[in-house]
Structures are given as C-alpha cells and as structure tokens.
Structure 1
Amino acid sequence: MARNRLAETASPYLNQHADNPVHWQPWDEEALAEARKRSVPIHLSIGYAACHWCHVMANESFSDPGTAAYLNQNFVNIKVDREERPDIDQVYMAALHSLGVPGGWPLTMFLTPQTEPFWGGTYFPPTPRWGRPSFRQVLHAVTETWQHKPETVATNTKAIATHLMSGQATEPPPDTHPDPELLDAAAAQILVHFDLERGGLKGAPKFPQAPLLEMMWRAHLRTGNTAYADAVLITLRNLCQGGIYDHLGGGFARYAVDDQWLVPHFEKMLSDNGQLLYLLCLAYEKTGEPLFRARLEETANWLLNEMRLPSGAFATSLDADTDHEEGATYVWSADEIEDHLGAATETFAKLYDVTPEGNWEGRNILNRLRTEAFAWLGESNEATLARHRASLLTVRNTRAQPARDDKVLTDWNATLIAALARSSVVLSRPDLLTAATDAFAFLSENKTPSGQLAHAWCDGRITAEAVSTDHAQMLRAAIELYAATAEKHYLDSAKASVDVLETNYYDDDSGSYYLANAAQDALFARLHSDSDEAMPAATGVAAEACGRLFLLTGETSYLDRAETIIRHQARAIARNLIATASLQNAWDTALRARHVIVFGSESKTDDTIAKHIAAEADPALTREYRPDSSASEARLRICDMERCYPDITASQEIADLLARTRTGHTR
C-alpha cells in the first residue's frame, strides 16, 4: 500500500496535503504504475494553494480518517497543483466540460489506470446538500461502477475522448484575410453585454477579464467609438473603488462574488494583478486620472514589497483564507475602526462603507462604491485618507496573515514583467524597471537540465517544464523590456521565444499552439492553447507579439505567422467572442501595429513628443528611444504596417500623424 508522498514535493499546495491521511501521490510514473499494478481507478484531485473550496474539501473529506481509508483501499489518489501543471489541468477540465459539468476547483476526476477520464465533478460536500451528493456517495458509486459495470466505464471514456478530439478538429483556413469589419462587429456584440453602470459583463460573479477589456480598448482606438473606451474606464473605476481592491495593502483579488465588485473572493493572484497593472497604465496614459495613478502606484508597491522573492522573481498568490476563515485578515468591525482612528472615524466610515451591522457577514469590506465616496476627493483629502489607511494597515499587519504560495510561474511572472516595464515609463519609476529586468533574468537563467525554459520553480528546484504560455508571455515581456530599455538582447530573446514556439508547439493544421511540448510525457490528450481562461491563450499572445516583432525587426516571417494564425482562427472568433479576446487583440495588432522611434540626446529629447506618444495609450504601439548626440532637436519616426513616414519634429505634426495612423489599415 502506498503512503502519502506529498512531503517530498516542492509545491506549497501539495505540501498543504502532506499530512492528510489520504495516501496522496504526485503525478508521476510511480503513481501511475501503482494504479496499473492494482487495477484500480485513479482519484485525481486538482487545485491550488489559494483556493478556498480546495481548503474546505480538504478539511471536510481529505482529513477524515474514514473517507481516507476508503480512498486508500479503492483508488490511487493523485494530487496536482493546477498552476504547476496547467497541461494536466487543461486536459481533465476539458474532460469535465465534455460531461456537461461547469468547471471549477477543486477538480475531482476519476480515471482508468491508463489515465482515461470516465467521470468527475468539482467540490463534493461530506453530507448531501445543495443538490449535491456527498463525497462518500460519489466514491461508492464510482467503485461500484468500476467493479461491476466496466461497459459503462468504457462507454464514458470513449465518449469523452471523442468529444475532446472533435474540439481539436481543424478545417482549412480561408485563402484571403478575414474582413476587419468582423472584428468591429465582435466588439459591438460584446458591448451589449457590458454593465455600463458597474463595468464588466452583466451579472454575478464578476471577473475583471483583462483580455476582454483590452479588446474593447483596442476597438475604441481602431474605430474612434468612445463607447468602447467608456466601458473599460467604467470597469476600471469600479475595480479601483470596489471591495475587490485591497484599499489598505494594494492589489486586486481574483474576482467579486456579487454584481457590484463589493465582495471579493479574497485570494490575490499574480496573474490578475499583472494584467490589471497593464490596463491601468493604458487608462492613466489616456485620461491622466489620479485614481488610476494611485492604484498603479499602490499595486506596484504591494507587488514589490509583498510578492517579490529574494531571487528577484515573484510569488504566485496569497491565500483566500486565514486560519481556515475566508477573508479574515482583511475585514473590519466598526468598533475596530473607531478604536484606531478615533475622531476621524465618522468621515472614514462614511467614505469606506463601514457600519455597525457590516456589509458582509456582519463585518466590513472597505470600499468606496457609494456615490459620495466614488469620486476622487482632491490631493489634500486623499492624502489624509492615505494616512488613515496606513494606520489601519499597521494594525492589520499584526493579525494572522494569509499564506503565500512562493512558487515561481514563468508565464505569470512574464505577464507582470511586461506590466512593470510599461509602468516604469508611465510612472517615471526606474525601480519598477529594475524589478522587471531582475525577474526576467531569473526566468531566463534558471533552465532545465536540457537547457529549456522552466514553467515552475519552487524551493530551489524546477518542478515543471515550460508550456507554450511561458514562451508566449516571455516573448511579450521581452518586447516590452526592449521598448523600455532599447537593449538589443531583449529583441534576441524575443526571437528565441518564437523559435521555440515554432519548433515545439505550433500545429500547422490548426494554426495554433499546443499547450504542452510534444517531447513532454504524453497525457490522455494534447490540446491547443487557443481559448482565454484566467490567463490569455498562448496562441493569441504569441500572434499579437509577432505582429509587433515584425515592425521591430523587419522580418516578414513574424507577420506571416501572425496572419496565418488569424486566418485559421477567424471562425473560432465568430463562434466564441469572449474566449478569443486575445486572438482578437492579435488581429487588431496585425491591422494597427506601429513602431514609434524618438531620436535625440538626453538633453534634447522633447517631453512634448513623449506626452504625445503616451496619450495614444495603445497596446499595439511599441515605442523606442534611440540616442543621437548629433541631433539638433528631438525627432519622431513612425512606421506602421504599410510604410515608414518621414521624420518629424513639430508638435502639431506629431499629433496629426499619430491620429492618422491610429486606426490602422485593411490588408
């Protein structure tokens, strides 16, 4: 009989289960071999360290000796960290969807010893409730089916496999480029579903969905329709003032469980904050609103102070729970606020929605969603509030704190690196650029024994090989670092990322990238990374970056790859507008990409030029500064997807040319 082997792993999530009486195994050949030897099904449980419901199920079922004994007798039990092994999570989440079950974590799947899925679900309670069977009932039913109804298992595995493979079916792409009007029509359709009072898509729960917000932002730049930009700005203002934002410590929670951004699911993820930091840069560049600058500064400071590791890379997440209680670190009673703020309590409480009865389960989530608190209150008033918040944060820091997952994920870090590089320019903060370059260096230098990029690193060791999202996000990060530094080695790194993607991940038949490397251990299925989830798909990110890389290098192979992907994916975009936002962003870049170069010496660089470029707030624009000590005055050169324009110096000419090239062209 096996034992619990999770203490041997580096993953903080797996370590959380090392003391369970369940004989958990990591996903490896030893565990799979045991299932084959014993001829018992695999009970696969997938989650992550910051997951509230993963903790609940662990406390209710995996810590129960009776449940554990049944699991150990009848199954080989494998625990997977979905962030460490997104390839495994992708395959079995897709299998669950094929059964008509909505996704979520913990993901509970039952597999044959050959790793073929035949049934599954998500969280199961210890006793029947909410229309769900108990976990024990599920286990008994699966055991009964496995032992006495092998035909049912065979039928299910075949049906799931057929469904997954049909989703990977390909069809020849059109010979011509898709009509850009389809891109505009997609944005118009999405706008109908936006909540134009609170932002985000209508209904609850509310997720920020950063790729979708970027898609709408680009639609505004491409069409000139301000309704698209307004939808994004409304969303960002509500995010910045809602309870989903940590008003004391900085940073955004994963999502809001309500339709007003008030009640967060309290986990803080590096991936979300990197994407939102980038969007806040665009919003601040466009509007100059002090709210956006404040949240940029606060979130960047939180990332540097609380999430940066000694290696220079960044940790993955902060837990939703503290001592098994969701949000315990973050919420307040009215009395606690009064004890620490004294005479200032009345004003603070009015602005931050603090009441004796509370706004969530008898406690208070600090927020500024009320009408009288929503607007920026001016420099003096905001400075006073900042002092009060700092006082409360000092108190909060004495409380028990949520656990931090110190695992380093390459794609999540690279997303943040791109945002920090842009933020360093927007905020004139060299420390942010230093943090970005240090993190990029760590990711680039810590390779697998075969010299390949890693996906996950923890406790001094690489724990998972790279997937396509790692290379795609490193490609994008390298371009942003080149824009911020003009250092050529970042362009070389970008080219190298494309080479690896082409060699190890690209599928000619579908015009998309697989998530897993072909050389990695084969799973039940190999699926493409072409639909956005919490992170944008590798196919969309890589295609977008290739469009920009073409302008930076002049190498047409990059543009050819981007346009080939877009031709292949045009039908998929029409079928699923929301999940293909990153592909639509790539299409927009293929239409509108611009390379803007400023020539001049440091003493002769015109701030007016920089302001004109910043005001574009365009993710399809790559800016670059090139020193020229001989220049009598700073000058600007713009290259788009059709031509390079003559260098110009006059402010009005610069503004006119930027406006003229903003909307792109039809290829």
Structure 2
Amino acid sequence: MNRLKHAASPYLLQHRDNPVDWWEWSDDAFAQARVCDRPVLLSVGYAACHWCHVMAHESFENPAIAAVMNELFVNIKVDREERPDIDHVYMSALHTLGEQGGWPLTMFLDSQGAPFWGGTYFPPTSRYGRPGFVDVLRQISGLYRSDRERIGRNASAIGEALQQSLQRVPEVGEPDLEHLASQIARRFDRDHGGLGGAPKFPNPGLVELLWRHGARSGDEASRESANRTLVQMARGGIHDHLGGGFARYAVDERWLVPHFEKMLYDNAQLLPLYALEATRAGDVLLREAADGIVAWLNRDMLLPEGAFAASLDADSEGVEGKFYVWTLPELTEILGADDAVLFARHYDVTAGGNWEGHTILNRLDTPDPLPEVGANLAELRVRLLEARSERIPPGLDDKILADWNGLMISGLARAAGILGRRDWLDLASRAFRFVSESMVDGDGLAHSFRAGRLIAPGFALDHAAMAEAALALHDATGDRHYFDLARRWSVHLDRYYREADSGLLRMTRADSAALPVIPRPTHDDAVPNANGLHAANLLRIAAQTGLPEDRERADRFLAVILAAAAHAPMAHGSVLNAYDLARNGVEVVLAGPNRGTFRQAALALPHLTTMLVDCTEPDGLPAGHPAHAYARQAGEGAAFVCLHGRCLPPVTEPNRLAEALASAR
C-alpha cells in the first residue's frame, strides 16, 4: 500500500494498491519535491471516470511504469470532487496551453506548485496520435534537470495567463433576456434537442432559461426547445429505462449512447425540470422520468446517514456499460418469446444490437404504446430490473458532498410540491438534516463526509446550494428554522468567500491554503455556479423579509455578476436565471392562521418564476411591503399575488391561485 491507504475519498482508495508512491495533496508532498529536486506529477480524476480507470490499469498498476514515476517525480493524486478548487486551477492551466481538457488530468508542476506543462489521458505507449506516457515522463524529467530556465518561463507564462483570466471584464448594460433566449433556442438541435453536435450534455441551466422564457412570454421556439430536449433525453439511451435516472452525457447527437456514469448533480438539476414540464405538457413520459430519478435515488444512492452518494461508475467488471446493456437472447430467456418480442419492438432491441453488439434500451424511434400495452411493458421492465440486479453493479462513490446533496434536496423539495409527493419531501428533509447537523464547520459547512471524516472547509457552492435547499424546504413546510439557516449560510458566504475588489465569490475561503491563483469562476460547469445560486438565494431571502436593504443587497450582487454573464451568456445560465427572477419574479404571499391550506396550491406553481412569502401574522410584513395593506384582509387564510410593487386582491380559494398568478402577468 502507498500513502493513499488513509484517504477518505473512494477514488483515492482505488489507487491505494498501485505501485506508484502516491501522495495526497499536501505541503509535505511539495516539501519532498524540493528536498529531492524533482518535479511534481499531479493526476486528477474521479471515481466514476472511465478513462481514469483505463489510465490506471494501463500505467499506474504497471510496476515498470510506476518505477519510472517514482524515480523521476513526486506523484500526487487528487479527487476532483473532493478538491474542485485544485481541479479548477490546473484544468484552467491546461486550457492556457491550448488543450481542451478532460479527465484524467495530468499536470506537471514545479516544487512550488506552479504548472509548466500537462495533458489528459496518455497511453502507456504511443498510439491514438498521443505520445506514450513513459516517453513523456522521461522528456519532462530531463527538461526539468537540464533546462530549468525554460521550465521557469513556461510556468511564468501559464501563471500570467491564469492571473489575466481573473481580470474584471468591462461592465455592460443589463442583458436582454428575450434576445438571449432566442439566440440560445436557435443553437438547440431542432430534431433531437440539446445544443447541437456531439457529445451532447443535458445543460439544465440553459434548458431552465428557455423554460422560463417560454412560460413567461409564450415564445414557441423557447418552449419547444426546452420540451424537445427533455422529451428526447427521456426517450434516449442516456435515460435508464429500467432503473431510472440519467447518465452524465451522450456521445452522439441523438442521446442514444450514454457515457454510462450516473452523477447525483445531473439528476438533481433535471428532476424539477421534468416535474415542471410534465405538469405543463401533461406528458406521461416526462412524469415517468421524474419518478424514475427518485426511484434510482432511493434504490442506489441513499446512504444509511440519510444523505445521498456522489456517483455510480461507468464501468462494471472493468467494462463500460456492461451493467446496463442487453441482447435479444437475454431478454427472451427472462421474459419468454412473446413478451420479449413485445418489449423489443418498443425498446429498440434487435439481434445485432445498437451498440457494440449489444442493445442500449431506448424509445427514440419506437412507437408509443397504447395504455393497456404500456401497463404490460411496465411489468416487463420490473422483471428485467430484477434480473439486472443480479449482475455485478457499478462501483458506488459513497462520499457525501454538501453541494451536490444541496442541489438534490432542492430538486426533491421543488418536485414534491409540483407533483404532490410528500414522500419526496420527507426524503429531502432527512438528507438536509444530516448535512446541516453532521457536516458543520464553525459557522459554515464542510464539503465532504465519508467514514466519519470531514473534508473542510467547504466551498462557496456548498453554502450556496445548501442555502437554496433550505429555502426550498422553508417554502414546502413553513418551518422558520430552514429560513434562518439559509440566511446564516448566505451571510457566511459574504463574510468569508466574497472578494473585496471584484465583489465576486471565490470558490474557496480567503484563508484557505494557497494555490497558484484563488479561483473565482462565474460560469456554470456541470453544476451551477455559486455566484448564480447566491444571487437567486438573496432575492428569495429579500422577498421573505420584505426589507429594502435585503433587496438592495441582492441587486448589488446581481449587478456585479451580470457583467461576466453578458460577455459569455451560454456559460452563465445560473446568473441569467437569477436575473430573470429579479426582473420577472412574482411573489406569492401566504397570510392568516390557516395559510397552510394555500401552501400546496402555491407549491404547485412554477417555482422558477415565483417566490413564496410566508406571513405568520397580520403585522408580520414590514410596513413597506406591497402586501401589507391587504394582510389584515386575510381572515383565516388567504394568498396575495404581488408583482413589481403591487398586489392583487386576496385569493380566498386555493384552487383560484393559479388563475390569479396568470392574471398578474
């Protein structure tokens, strides 16, 4: 065993038996590099990463290659999910070299941590047009020994580029949401949904933006782009038609062939979108997709602590996708000939298969069943799922991440209200309790928990995502405890993560261990950016308190982050969605002792465009709040729809609330 045997990360533990003398990221590792006068080889990956496994099997488990690594380098292994700050900085460094990036990330650093060269996957010997890993190791080491000046120039150039990326962009006017939504809708694939080309990712932030615009304006192009994306994903192979949930992305433009890893964060963001669109469109397929996400969550991702695991691997038994694919003879053996024929007709199962001789179940080109046939197919899916459960499953990364759990808690709470699923709300509440009580770090939160060990301090996204989760649970329950936690974590972000010069949130605390630069990205990655979530949280907090100073605080922060979004709108869905909430959000005020009777009706409204305000007593709103004049008219219970500083008369029947909201626009 090497030093990774004491790691908390399942990804690092996958490498504990490598003959490579791995270090975890630490001051001691860099001190060793200085003592030995060797460069550092930094390898970054994650537990569900297929190509990370490939490079591990080919190189890190090879004693001869490991010997070269040990002789020439100090080798550091990092889990990008455990340390997203390290991953962000060194992936950005790779981009400055003109490389597209991806995982595994392989970077070469000097003994101070400054990057001077890198790449991603390297085969053990030259192939695929890529140099062999051993050749790369010897060349880099030789250069480090013989031409330190050149190494220094490379490191300085990359460092300057990283610093330049932190420069503030020129301020511009407020974005034109209608124009941006139209531009984005035109970029979406008219036939298959999603951004055109391959590989194809879900991009939930952009789908949300289009959904908002379509719902607000009635724009058919935006509405159709959002709907087509969700429908085609649900029909495609990226969707697990037996077990529920969605894979990370599709390698083709039709959503047929997934990269089979399943991540908590993708499904967290997709769940409320499927609930919203299923309700708007009345589409059974979309409702089944939402139900399937939660079924997968309950069956495969729920941990004894009550919170959710991070991911499921792409591979099982060392083969990508083996757990999920089928052959026609397998179906016939399990279902019998007649049922196998029926199932094959509706899920694209053929003798030759649709992927490497096997079949990825999908409904992209197959007929929609009649209701009675649909019921039969549902029974067949259950039988196949039971048979699949006997296979060796993909590996589970069972660390609990505060940010990803926060996203899923929020998604569950919102979808529960839209679809009337109290059990989903209970699931969200249990997960929230664990993170908020067992992952505490001072006034804030830790980032990761596994096997009794916390990785702290947390990152900006941990606090922003958990504040969003708290606000969603406050809306769903009216429990003030949730709202108080949302405010506490938002204040914590401003105190410890906000950069004085730019006004933006850093990814890490100001007092965190130094990296070559302190990252403060504003763009979304696979997860929404902390700045966008924080802006939306501040707006919802201001709506609840009704205090002008809270709204001014939210508006000031939003103004800071809009400049970055305006220069690269496609990368800033979360920021634009926060701006849409600020400009077009409608407040729904629940008042009176029996206001709870209106809560379910309010929760069924589109949460993307509404902000729920819980008024506990007639004088519970500040004097300046537009609903204040109506609050005493609430009687035993009423709801008020407020927009742009004005409120409609009280709604006294819960089933009239949606009608009142429509008239407010």
TM-score, normalised to structure 2, is 0.93
Paired residues, number = 650
Does structure 1 residue 203 correspond to structure 2 residue 209? no
Task: Indicate the residue corresponding to 1:17 in structure 2.
Answer: 15
Give the counterpart letter for 2:183 in structure 1: Q
The match for 2:226 is: 232
> Bigger CA drift: 345-354 or 380-389?
380-389
Which residue in 1 is equivalent to 2:5? 7
Are positions 1:543 and 2:528 aligned together? no
Residue equivalent to 1:642 = 645
> C-alpha deviations, 1:302-333, integer Å up to 9, x for none?
10121011111100000000011000111011
Contact 2:410 2:473 in 1 (8 A): yes
- Give deviations 1:486-534, integer Å, cap 9, x for gaps: 1011110111011111001112432321101111111111011311001
Letter of the structure 2 residue corresponding to residue 293 of structure 1: R
**Aligned counterparts of 1:603 and 1:482: Cα–Cα separation in 2:** 14
For 2:504, which of 504, 508, 512 is the aligned residue?
512
* CA-atom RMSD in angstroms: 2.2
Which residue of the partner structure matches residue 412 of structure 1? 404
1:603 is displaced (CA, Å) by 11
Q: Is it true that 1:163 corresponds to 2:157 in the alignment? A: no
Deviation at 1:38, TM superposition (A): 1.1
Verify: 1:324 aligned to 2:322, yes or no: no
Distance in structure 2 (CA, Å) of the matches to 1:473 and 1:51: 24
Say if 2:573 is the partner of 1:581.
yes
In structure 2, the partner of 1:132 is 130
Q: Do residues 192 (structure 1) and 181 (structure 2) align?
A: no
Q: How does 1:79-98 map to 2 (within 5 A)?
A: 79-98=77-96
Distance change in 2, residues 1:409/1:188 (3 Å): same
Does the CA-based 8 Å contact 2:444-2:463 persist in structure 1? no
User: Contact 2:409–2:429 (CA<8 Å) still a contact in 1?
Assistant: yes
User: Given the superposition, is the C-alpha separation of residues 9 and 604 from structure 1 closer, same or farther in structure 2, using an over 3 Å criterion?
Assistant: closer
Partner of 2:413 in structure 1?
A: 421
Residue equivalent to 1:570: 562
Q: Is residue 2:28 matched to residue 1:30? A: yes
Summarize the Cα distance change of 1:171–1:361 in structure 2 as closer, same or farther, 3 Å threshold.
closer
Instruction: Say if 2:353 is the partner of 1:358.
Output: yes
Q: In structure 2, do the counterparts of structure 1 residues 347 and 405 end up closer, same or farther at CA, with 3 Å as the change threshold?
A: same
Q: Equivalent of 2:662, from 624, 649, 659?
A: 659
**3-state SS in 2 of match to 1:312:** coil
Asked whether 1:617 is paired with 2:618, we answer no
1:459 and 2:451 are equivalent in the alignment:
yes
| 1:635 partner amino acid | A
Q: Partner amino acid for 2:315?
A: D
CA distance in 2, matches of 1:653, 1:179: 35
Distance 1:658 1:613, change over 3 A: farther
Tell me: CA distance 1:652–1:52, structure 2 relative to 1, closer, same or farther (3 Å): closer
Write the distance in 2 (CA, Å) between the matches of 1:573 and 1:627.
37
Q: Distance in 2 between matches of 1:531 and 1:557?
A: 27
Structure 1 24/263 Cα, relative in aligned 2: closer, same or farther at 3 Å?
same
**Paired letter, 1:366:** L
Give the structure 2 partner of residue 219 of structure 1: 213
Q: Distance in 2 between matches of 1:303 and 1:460?
A: 22
Which stretch shifts more, 338-347 or 216-225?
A: 216-225
Structure 1 residues 16, 509: CA separation in 2 closer, same or farther (over 3 Å shift)? Answer: same
State how 1:437-448 maps to structure 2 within 5 Å: 437-447=429-439
- Any conservation in 1 of the 2:94–2:118 contact (CA below 8 Å)? yes
Contact kept, 8 Å, 2:542 with 2:554, in 1: the verdict is no
- Assess, with a 3 A threshold, how the Cα gap between structure 1 residues 414 and 612 changes in structure 2: closer, same or farther: closer
Q: Would you say the 8 A contact 1:57–1:125 is kept in 2?
A: yes
1:275 to 263, 269, 279: 269
- 1:71-97 Cα offsets, whole Å, 9 max, x none, are 001100000000000111111011111
Q: d(CA) in 1 for partners of 2:603 and 2:648? A: 15
Match of 2:483 in 1: 491
Structure 2 residue 512 is the aligned partner of structure 1 residue 555: no
State the Cα distance separating 1:129 from its structure 2 match. Answer: 1.4
Aligned-residue offset at 1:622 = 2.7
Distance 1:6 1:654 in 2: 57
Q: 8 Å contact 2:642–2:664 — kept in the other structure?
A: no
Of 290-299 and 385-394, more deviation after overlay is shown by 290-299
CA contact (8 A) 2:447 2:457 kept: yes
- CA deviation digits over 1:278-298, x for unaligned, max 9? 211221232222212211112
**d(CA) in 2 for partners of 1:449, 1:480:** 22
Correspondence 1:365-444 to 2 at 5 A? 365-370=360-365, 372-373=366-367, 375=368, 377-444=369-436
Q: Which amino acid aligns with 2:430?
A: D
Task: Note closer, same or farther for the CA distance 1:147–1:603 as it changes in structure 2 (3 Å cut).
Answer: closer
Q: CA deviation at 1:632?
A: 7.1
What do the CA deviations read for 1:156-195 (whole angstroms, capped 9, x no partner)? 1111111111111125746xxx345x22221111111100
1:31-180 → structure 2 map (5 Å cutoff): 31-170=29-168, 173=171, 178-180=173-175
The corresponding residue for 2:623 is none
Separation in 1 of the partners of 2:141 and 2:9? 30
CA contact (8 A) 2:602 2:612 kept: no
CA gap of 1:612–1:558, structure 2 versus 1, over 3 A, is closer
| Partner Cα separation in structure 2 for residue 193 and residue 28 of structure 1 | 44
What per-residue deviation string (whole Å, max 9, x for no partner) do you get for residues 400-425 of structure 1? Answer: 11010000000000000001111222
* C-alpha deviation, 1:612, in angstroms: 7.9
How many angstroms apart in 1 are the aligned matches of 2:616 and 2:501?
44
SS at match of 1:638: strand
Relative to 1, partners in 2 of residues 1:314 and 1:651: Cα closer, same or farther, differing over 3 Å? Answer: closer
Distance 1:33 1:501 in 2: 32
In the superposition, the TM-score normalised over structure 1's length comes to 0.93
Shift of 1:647: 1.3
Change (3 A) 1:490 1:113: same
**SS of the residue aligned with 1:506?**
coil
Greater RCO between the two (CA within 8 Å, min separation 6)?
Answer: 1
Q: Counterparts of 1:197 and 1:494 in 2: how far apart (Å)?
A: 41
Aligned-partner Cα distance in 1 for 2:607–2:416: 16
The C-alpha deviation readout for 1:366-397, integer Å capped at 9, x for no partner, is 01111x43x4x344322211110110111111
What CA distance in whole angstroms lies between the structure 1 residues aligned with 2:254 and 2:314?
Answer: 19
Q: Distance in 1 between matches of 2:510 and 2:654?
A: 52
Give the SS at the match of 2:77: strand
Question: Is the CA contact 1:482–1:488 (under 8 Å) kept in the aligned structure 2?
Answer: yes
Cα pair 1:595 1:640 within 8 Å, conserved: yes
1:594 is matched by which residue type in structure 2?
V
Deviations 1:113-138 (A, max 9, x none): 10000001100111211211111121
Query: In 2, Cα distance between the equivalents of 1:613 and 1:27?
Result: 45
Name the structure 2 match of 1:665: none
Deviations 1:450-478 (A, max 9, x none): 45311011111102420000011011111
Other structure's SS at 2:647 match: coil
SS in 2 for 1:578: helix
Question: How far is the alpha carbon of 1:562 from its aligned partner?
Answer: 3.1
Q: Distance in 2 between matches of 1:605 and 1:478?
A: 21
Unaligned runs of 5+ in 1: 663-667
Partner AA of 2:114 in structure 1:
E
C-alpha displacement at 1:577, in angstroms?
1.7
**Alpha carbons 1:548, 1:594 under 8 Å: kept:** no
Distance 2:21 2:568 in 1: 41
